[in-house]
Structure 1
Amino acid sequence: MALGRALSVSIVGLTGHVVDVEADIALGLPAFTLVGLPDASLAESRDRVRAACSNSGHPLPQRRITVNLSPAALPKAGSGFDLAIAVALLTAQSVLRSPLVQRYVHVGELGLNGRVRPVRGVLPATLAAVRGGYPDVVVPAANEAEARLVPGARVYPMATLADLIRLHGGRPGEIRPEPEQPALIRDPRSASARPERSAGPGDVLVRPQNLADVRTAAPPGPEPDLADVVGQKQARYAIELAAAGGHHLLMMGPPGTGKTLLASRLPGLLPDLDDDAAVEVTAVHSVAGTLDAATGLIRRPPFQNPHHTCTVVSMVGGGSGLPHPGAASLAHRGILFLDEAGEFGSQVLDSLRQPLEHGDLVIHRANGTARFPARFLLVLASNPCPCGFASGKGLNCVCAPNARRRYLSRLSGPLLDRVDLQVDVLPVSRADMAAKEPAESSATVAQRVRQARAVAAERLAGTSWSSNGEVSGSYLRGTLRLPTAVTQDVDRALDDGQLSIRGHDRVLRVAWTISDLAGRQQPDRDDVSRALMLRRRGQVTA
């Protein structure tokens, strides 16, 4: 017996680390010890690996077995280390040849019968392996399509441990006959699906230099069209501004006025993700187990619509052990829509303040810290009171004044201070319904959005920002400083205490987007005043 080694990947947040798996088989009382900061699901790999090796024709000896996961100070989680542990043990028994084995990184879970089962986070794990100089990656057969999305990776899909033994030059022993049963793989997009296995948290922020040979997603089905919305010129204009500049939006109005309808049309106005953003978004969904790898990289901005009963953990991520991504990270580079925002818990809503400001989430737990990207466009839709009819004249509202205040107080001042556009969505009139001129389609508005974004991208070239909604206040007051005659209305609101300095900056961001949509070189006083009105739920149209 000798020391066996193999390689795997540990994923913490969105950072992948290549892990050296060492196995030692020595004389002594039979025992199987796993060290190197494993979590509970990883510690259970001892029984899975022992049974899988036995049922693949190479039972482990009844001796003292020690498996070390190095670096020992790095937290390890999930069942994706099973393959590497099995390979290291078989190498220690001289079943496999050590020099050949150490070229490969192994990611996958083992079933008791020796089958290789799929795991989460294969895309970021493969990215980490390639980045670490190990392009040969062994993955479960069910994860093959996901791993092949990574340029430069040489992927070896495995259905059983016996197949892996053959790959590494070994010969499977006498395998115990068992009835063949297809592996259960549930559709991760189904709300009722739950992963069969416990998997590690997150992954890697690797941006490959060349994505030319990466498969992209198949053309999506038709998205809801903005032409379906009757009337609502004010809200339609706000939706267009939100898409063109990446501005957060609050729509408030009574039930049935079209708030949800408008929000569902917003994804159709956004352009496709660029290469870096597509890789990053796909990695997050891979870690969360919601990726359909058969469609390739996620090119369309994601749309997340959590129910108002969700918890803080489900919104921003977390959980026991190492944190996992929540709805805010799954909406990265897309839209996070909170319907019935007044029904969400105040703690859930306020937990979004950090990602709205910084574009990422840093979650601390006893076992480690994880960082997830969370640069999303927040869209809030809310009734003005519990009964919903306090908007406009409010003649039908039956809520007591205290009930109204309690309802709206869930949308805290610090949260609303980060929302650029705040508009009232009032009931549609008969005149709107009788209008003969058809409403603009999503394709028409999306074309204006693309043009406005192209203008903003040219202006922001050389910076780290991709839209007006991300520009810092110092840049607005420096490089993009506007004349005092143009900003006098918003400056007066700041002096009067009606706006914070953050609110002042956000008004200017919206003014630049208004200007870009109108084809002007820079905002004029009317653009700034219009942006200010849109922040106060004033009635403004294009």
Structure 2
Amino acid sequence: MGLAQLHSRALLGLQAPVVTVEVHLANGLPSFSLVGLAEVEVREARERVRSAILNSGLEFPANKRIIVNLAPADLPKDSGRFDLPIALGILTASGQLDSARLHDFAFAGELSLSGALRPVRGALPMALAAHGAAQEPGPIDAATPWVLPPGSAEEAALVPGCTVYRAEHLLDVVDFFRPSGASDAGAAEAAENAASGWQRLPQADAAGQEPPRYPDMADVKGLPVVRRALEIAAAGGHHVLMVGPPGAGKSMLAQRFAGLLPPLETADALQSAAMASLGGRFQWSQWRQRPVRSPHHTASAVALVGGGTPPKPGDISLAHQGVLFLDELPHFPRAALEALREPLETGSVHISRAARQAEFPARFQLIAAMNPCPCGYWGSSTRPCRCTPDQVARYQGRLSGPLLDRIDIHIEVPSLTPQELLEAQPGEDSASIQRRVIAARTSAQARQGCSNHLLEGQALQQQAQLDGPASEFLYQAAQKMAWSARAMHRVMRVARSIADLDGAEAVARRHIAEAAQYRRALTVT
């Protein structure tokens, strides 16, 4: 009878492989079959598509045998993103639409029973995949226009060079692709009553958007050493562990850390927004804003690093290019904490399951906080501690050595007395600190092409440029504090960031001495 082919994309992690939607109408016993390794929500498209076509005043070929194939057959497909191309394929195969014009577009969108289009998850990753530098050969390329529902279309329009059409209703799409002079009374009446929702979106421009707003570091009184440590961490991209009694200000400091980081570049902002789109959390108001994720300490390993069927990103990927704040660090499940070890090093997480594999970026800055002991007041000058040394050691021992080795800065956050808190002046604002951080990062980028926390091996030795006194001090500190090779390298990276903040070309002894002080917070005496 009739055959139609349209194009869309599936989602497999951040990858979005091309899917060809093939629709064949044949004589025979009326039926509606959908094949191609479709999940339950895709198979349910049969009822949504049938109702949407009929309620839009269009002709549904109920007396035909309808076969829909989603190719390639071995690629899993999920969600309702294929509703729109399936409906258009049925209308094209039955001669109601122009197949030649449809072939030059890509489609995605979920249909309601009335024919209205609903947004789909992952529109931004789909558009990025079509406009990536390493575009695979296929029917969809960088010049292929997309037809998407409201909400999803605005996401895709963020990708530079992407042509996007927004359609609010199935009839909006049908009217655009209907053959010249072809219409029927029912469709014409329905189209006349429906408001025109077809629009080509301009390239998204954030020039008029207000800069992201973060809580200001000026709200924090006192704690100059901790503020200095966070400034160093922002300048070099280092992970931080804050140790202090309850109410000392650890959470307050962590919530303001994102405001110290440089503004996001367009490429990084797109990657961050793509992860939010995969999780169904993207909002235009948060465009170019660094994400801040703070999961509860009962979160499982899957919730942190991702997983499930199909694989979905966890909190570490949703915090990509932003901040992951883990409060009450020792209370997290041991499996969840140990699962962080590889992403902290590599900046990505590879999820392997029996049926599927997916890789998500996870280049975040970890800001962790914990009490020094179970009661929280070990070493405090304001309140006595009720814990025995064994209890303190067991509590701190919940954090493994390999995990602590991967955290560059360990800083103690002391509690302020009431008098100190009342007499303390407002601290330096985030904007002033951010300017110094940007200058330090610019210097590091010009010198080595990356942030200091990414330096390894010969590159670290070359960029640190330790003189004799600095090397001798580093050796003595490593011997006395029993540092591993990884810990030594992290001290060197932190010292390089301190030197950048000072505007120094080489790392001196004073920089190593300051960096060494940021690895002593968990020493039990």
Q: 1:367 aligns with which of 343, 349, 355?
A: 355
Q: In structure 2, what residue type is equivalent to 1:166?
A: D
Give the secondary structure class of the aligned counterpart of 2:227.
helix
Q: Partner residue of 1:97?
A: 98
Indicate if the aligned counterparts of 2:448 and 2:463 stay in contact, CA closer than 8 A: no
Q: In structure 2, what residue type is equivalent to 1:72?
A: A
Alpha-carbon displacement from aligned partner over 1:86-114 (angstroms, at most 9, x marks no partner): 11122111111211110110010011221
Give the drift of 1:292: 1.2
Q: Partner residue of 1:67?
A: 68
Q: Partner residue of 2:135?
A: none
Instruction: Tell whether 2:242 aligns with 1:254.
Output: no
Q: Partner residue of 1:136?
A: 145
Q: In structure 1, what residue type is equivalent to 2:493?
A: R
Indicate if the aligned counterparts of 1:418 and 1:503 stay in contact, CA closer than 8 A: yes
Q: 2:506 aligns with which of 522, 531, 534?
A: 522
Give the drift of 1:434: 5.6
Give the drift of 1:533: 1.9
Give the secondary structure class of the aligned counterpart of 1:336.
strand
> How far apart are the structure 1 equivalents of 2:169 and 2:233?
50
> How far apart are the structure 2 equivalents of 1:303 and 1:379?
10
Instruction: Tell whether 2:126 aligns with 1:125.
Output: yes
> How far apart are the structure 2 equivalents of 1:90 and 1:525?
75
Alignment of 1:290-309 (within 5 A): 290-293=281-284, 295=285, 298-309=287-298
> How far apart are the structure 2 equivalents of 1:229 and 1:413?
31
> How far apart are the structure 2 equivalents of 1:468 and 1:212?
35
RMSD of the TM alignment (CA)? Answer: 2.7
Give the drift of 1:432: 3.4
Q: Partner residue of 2:162?
A: 153
Q: 1:475 aligns with which of 442, 449, 459?
A: 459
Q: 1:415 aligns with which of 403, 419, 444?
A: 403
Q: In structure 2, what residue type is equivalent to 1:99?
A: A
Indicate if the aligned counterparts of 1:16 and 1:125 stay in contact, CA closer than 8 A: yes
- For normalisation by structure 1, the TM-score amounts to 0.86
Give the drift of 1:485: 3.4
Give the drift of 1:493: 4.6
Question: Quick one: structure 1 residues 45 and 23, their matched pair in 2 at CA, closer, same or farther if it must change by over 3 Å?
Answer: same
Give the drift of 1:220: 4.6
Q: 1:513 aligns with which of 497, 502, 505?
A: 497
Q: Partner residue of 2:261?
A: 270
> How far apart are the structure 2 equivalents of 1:181 and 1:324?
37
Instruction: Tell whether 2:81 aligns with 1:84.
Output: no
Give the secondary structure class of the aligned counterpart of 1:242.
helix
Q: Partner residue of 2:198?
A: none
Instruction: Tell whether 2:437 aligns with 1:449.
Output: yes
Instruction: Tell whether 2:217 aligns with 1:233.
Output: no
Alpha-carbon displacement from aligned partner over 1:178-234 (angstroms, at most 9, x marks no partner): xx999xxxxxxxxxxxxxxxxxxxxxxxxxxxx996435821564322222122122
Q: Partner residue of 1:169?
A: 178
Give the secondary structure class of the aligned counterpart of 1:141.
coil
Q: In structure 1, what residue type is equivalent to 2:232?
A: L
Indicate if the aligned counterparts of 1:337 and 1:379 stay in contact, CA closer than 8 A: yes
Indicate if the aligned counterparts of 1:151 and 1:214 stay in contact, CA closer than 8 A: no
Gaps of 5+ in 1: 183-210
Question: Quick one: structure 1 residues 515 and 436, their matched pair in 2 at CA, closer, same or farther if it must change by over 3 Å?
Answer: same
- The percentage of aligned residue pairs carrying the same residue is 41
> How far apart are the structure 2 equivalents of 1:311 and 1:418?
20
Indicate if the aligned counterparts of 2:143 and 2:163 stay in contact, CA closer than 8 A: no
Alignment of 1:396-435 (within 5 A): 396-429=384-417, 432-433=420-421, 435=423
Tell me which moved more, 274-283 or 392-401: 392-401
Tell me which moved more, 502-511 or 143-152: 143-152
Indicate if the aligned counterparts of 1:149 and 1:215 stay in contact, CA closer than 8 A: no
Indicate if the aligned counterparts of 2:221 and 2:426 stay in contact, CA closer than 8 A: no
Q: In structure 2, what residue type is equivalent to 1:446?
A: Q
Q: 1:459 aligns with which of 443, 447, 457?
A: 447
Alpha-carbon displacement from aligned partner over 1:392-419 (angstroms, at most 9, x marks no partner): 4696222344543343233221111100
Question: Quick one: structure 1 residues 58 and 216, their matched pair in 2 at CA, closer, same or farther if it must change by over 3 Å?
Answer: farther
Q: Partner residue of 1:28?
A: 28
Instruction: Tell whether 2:22 aligns with 1:17.
Output: no
Question: Quick one: structure 1 residues 155 and 26, their matched pair in 2 at CA, closer, same or farther if it must change by over 3 Å?
Answer: same
Give the drift of 1:130: 4.4
Give the secondary structure class of the aligned counterpart of 2:482.
coil
Q: Partner residue of 1:203?
A: none
Q: In structure 2, what residue type is equivalent to 1:301?
A: R
Give the drift of 1:490: 2.7
Give the drift of 1:172: 6.7
Q: In structure 1, what residue type is equivalent to 2:236?
A: G
Give the drift of 1:330: 1.1
Instruction: Tell whether 2:271 aligns with 1:280.
Output: yes
> How far apart are the structure 2 equivalents of 1:163 and 1:169?
10
Tell me which moved more, 495-504 or 265-274: 495-504
Q: In structure 1, what residue type is equivalent to 2:220?
A: V
Indicate if the aligned counterparts of 1:225 and 1:442 stay in contact, CA closer than 8 A: yes
Q: Partner residue of 2:137?
A: none
Q: In structure 2, what residue type is equivalent to 1:507?
A: V
Question: Quick one: structure 1 residues 454 and 292, their matched pair in 2 at CA, closer, same or farther if it must change by over 3 Å?
Answer: same
Q: Partner residue of 2:48?
A: 48
Alpha-carbon displacement from aligned partner over 1:351-388 (angstroms, at most 9, x marks no partner): 21111010011112233211111100000011112221
Q: Partner residue of 1:318?
A: 307
Alpha-carbon displacement from aligned partner over 1:13-38 (angstroms, at most 9, x marks no partner): 11122211111122333332222222
> How far apart are the structure 1 equivalents of 2:218 and 2:332?
30
> How far apart are the structure 2 equivalents of 1:366 and 1:334?
31
Q: 1:498 aligns with which of 477, 482, 486?
A: 482
Tell me which moved more, 247-256 or 530-539: 530-539
Indicate if the aligned counterparts of 1:7 and 1:19 stay in contact, CA closer than 8 A: yes
Give the secondary structure class of the aligned counterpart of 2:17.
strand
Give the drift of 1:460: 1.4
Indicate if the aligned counterparts of 1:229 and 1:261 stay in contact, CA closer than 8 A: yes
Give the drift of 1:450: 1.3
> How far apart are the structure 2 equivalents of 1:472 and 1:46?
54
Q: 1:335 aligns with which of 317, 320, 323?
A: 323
Instruction: Tell whether 2:93 aligns with 1:109.
Output: no
> How far apart are the structure 2 equivalents of 1:353 and 1:173?
64
Give the drift of 1:299: 1.6
Question: Quick one: structure 1 residues 397 and 480, their matched pair in 2 at CA, closer, same or farther if it must change by over 3 Å?
Answer: closer
Question: Quick one: structure 1 residues 28 and 324, their matched pair in 2 at CA, closer, same or farther if it must change by over 3 Å?
Answer: same
> How far apart are the structure 2 equivalents of 1:490 and 1:473?
16
Indicate if the aligned counterparts of 1:96 and 1:168 stay in contact, CA closer than 8 A: yes
Indicate if the aligned counterparts of 1:308 and 1:343 stay in contact, CA closer than 8 A: yes
Question: Quick one: structure 1 residues 243 and 212, their matched pair in 2 at CA, closer, same or farther if it must change by over 3 Å?
Answer: farther
Indicate if the aligned counterparts of 1:108 and 1:116 stay in contact, CA closer than 8 A: yes
Give the drift of 1:497: 7.6
Q: In structure 2, what residue type is equivalent to 1:418?
A: R
Give the secondary structure class of the aligned counterpart of 2:313.
coil
> How far apart are the structure 2 equivalents of 1:436 and 1:400?
33
Question: Quick one: structure 1 residues 428 and 527, their matched pair in 2 at CA, closer, same or farther if it must change by over 3 Å?
Answer: same
Give the secondary structure class of the aligned counterpart of 2:146.
strand
Indicate if the aligned counterparts of 1:270 and 1:446 stay in contact, CA closer than 8 A: yes
